[in-house]
Amino acid sequence: MSETLLFRGARIEGVEPADILVHDGVIAEIGRGLSRDGATVVDVADLIALPGLVDLHTHLREPGYEASETILTGSRAAAAGGYSAVFAMPNTSPVADTAGVVEQELALGEAAGFVTVQPIGAVTVGQKGERLAELGAMADSRARVRVFSDDGFCVWDPLIMRRALEYVKAFDGVIAQHAQDPRLTEGAQMNEGAVSAELGLAGWPAVAEESIIARDVLLAEHVGSRLHVCHLSTAGSVEIIRWAKKRGVNVTAEVTPHHLLLTDELVRGYDARFKVNPPLRREEDVLAVREGLADGTIDIVATDHAPHPAEAKACEWQAAANGMVGLESALRVVHQAMVETGLLTWGDVARVMSREPARIGRLSGHGTPVTVGQPASLAFYDPAPARPFTADDLRGRSMNSPYLGRDLPGEVRWTLHQGTVTVADGAVLEAPGVRA
């Protein structure tokens, strides 16, 4: 494609139609009836123009688990979902707990070119929870890590959690906590409640999440540091975050698309696509997290994209791995759960799926408004179609989506990453700057 692109008629964040002129990787002009000699004109009438989406919680699996996903295949999946940047969780092999590993991940993301891949550093060495990892070295590296997490494991030791919160203050970092008390969830298979009792599966109590969040917001308040809560899933957790914010605690929280839509009733079929950590909760929890996202208690939507090979899911429930892929479906699920229900506007979607994730992660050049002079990282979304989500919608290496066969609205038609078209008319491209 030409380096000059003229997108005609898009509704910027869902409001009045306008033309968007992209030149040399930036938004050069916005208005009605624009023209530019030599520009490639793209008709995007009735599409929603959003700033490129930013995911604060993605598992790209590389290095070490390339059978599930690679940075290249995960980046392609992200572009298909309208993303221009993803934060890569550190539970790789080796664990991303040193400057060398995070710089390797950064370089692989740059080579792929579909999205900006921003590494997240581990909080503790090997994610074992015993001693702090090289937080300062990762922060000072070329990857400029600002988010640290042992995701997949809870930083359960309160003293280590306190020291981590204190340490990252020096460079405006944030600790992203996987809130799961390990003793309260030993052997747990699904949400603890009526359905688990009926099925005879070991329950995963809400208090296992809520007790860690309660402890950590108090630690963050005591230290005066930034805390981020990963994949919040219960009504009680929403209330704790709401209380903490009223106290002035510097805490942010995320919810996944699947916790906005799916409930533990789906476990009745023992389909391991619905096995996830934290588990799918009750309908009451789904409604509570939707309300928390709508009123700003929950700051962002993050996918927790967790690919697994087929054999990790095509087995009995107890032996199956936790996790769901979610990059390609996230915007469509948020559309269904939050926009169609009137809880969010498209401007709100831009905030919770682009601006705020970039702000929390301190990722410059992303999450910026669709305005003149900003980098041209954009997603053009067609809200009109509604059709079943299928394997053809998946662009990563793994197929463990909970939405296969489920009707979802909308479709991402175009994605731009810093001026480079990565998705054109619904097809993922191998464009200049994008490696096959």
Is 43 annotated in some ligand binding site? no
- Please report where in the chains the tokens 């008390």 appear, as a residue: 181
Question: Helices in 338-429 by DSSP H: which ranges?
Answer: 346-350, 356-360
User: Is 417 marked as binding a ligand?
Assistant: no
Q: Is 181 a catalytic residue?
A: no
Residues 315 and 318: their CA atoms lie apart, in Å, by 8
Buried b (16+ CB within 10 A) or exposed e, 194-232: ebbeebebebbbbebbbbbbbbbbebbbebebbbbbbbb
Q: Which of 19, 150, 264, 304 is catalytic?
A: 304
Strands 40-43 and 48-51: unpaired
What tokens were used for 196?
């688990």
305 is in an annotated binding site: no
231 assigned ligand-binding residue: yes
Is 57 annotated among the ligand-binding residues? Answer: yes
Question: Residue 273, SS3?
Answer: helix
Integer Cα distance of 110 and 74 in angstroms:
13
In three state form, how does the secondary structure of 70-114 look? CHHHHHHHHHHCCEEEEEECCCCCCCCCCHHHHHHHHHHHHHHCC
The annotation status of 178 as a binding-site residue, yes or no, is: yes
151 annotated to bind ligand: yes
Strands 48-51 and 4-12: parallel
Q: Say whether 228 counts as a known binding-site residue.
A: no
Residue 222 counted as an annotated binding residue = no
Q: Which residue ranges are tagged as binding site for substrate?
A: 59-61, 91, 277, 308
Q: Which residue ranges are tagged as binding site?
A: 57, 59-61, 91, 151, 178, 231, 277, 304, 308
Q: Which residue ranges are tagged as binding site for Zn(2+)?
A: 57, 59, 151, 178, 231, 304
Catalytic machinery residues: 304
